[in-house]
Amino acid sequence: MLEINNDEKEIIREEISILSKKTAVNEKTKNEFENLISAIESQNIDDTQLYLLSKVLELLLSSGEIRRKYSYVDEQKIFRLYGKTPTGKKQKDNIDKLNKSLMILQSQKIESISFSLNLPGVYGIAIKTDEGEISLNINQSGIYADKLEVEI
């Protein structure tokens, strides 16, 4: 179960209310936002609501809205809360796996590192070493190893 403290509840309630007024074009969407607020208040968030909450938190964090309206400290609170959602946990797991994979490069000589724009919103990093090359893709969903070539 996701625990949400009173400070977090206050921010989330306010921001969901604003989002609801700005984006809810039909009754179903308005009801989903209202149900999410009720679930947060009662600390009884089901999987569907948890997914919606993670998307709301992602939007608020990536847009900079929390820091603009509140503070850096509040932004960090909301970020930690996001990290407790299934979406946040999945992204953290992906980063942990990637960092573990990159450990192999520690003993290698880096020959080049380059960045690229693969598609709008999708970036690439290529790291070439004396023993091989790894390509990474970065997008809104996270960062993923795309290609690994090892010289034999």
Helix (H) or strand (E) segment spanning residue 74: helix 72-83
- Per the listing, tokens 């796996």 go with 97
Phi/psi zone of residue 43: left (φ > 0), alpha (ψ -120 to 50 degrees), beta?
left
| pLDDT band, residue 152 (cuts 50/70/90) | low
- Please tell me the total number of residues recorded for the chain in this structure: 152
pLDDT, tens only, 85-109: 998 999 899 889 888 888 888 889 9
Mean per-residue pLDDT, 122-150: 86
pLDDT greater than 90 at residue 147: no
Which residues share a beta bridge with 120? none
Q: What integer pLDDT is reported at residue 2 of this predicted model?
A: 84
28-49: per-residue pLDDT in tens?
Answer: 888 888 899 999 988 888 888 9
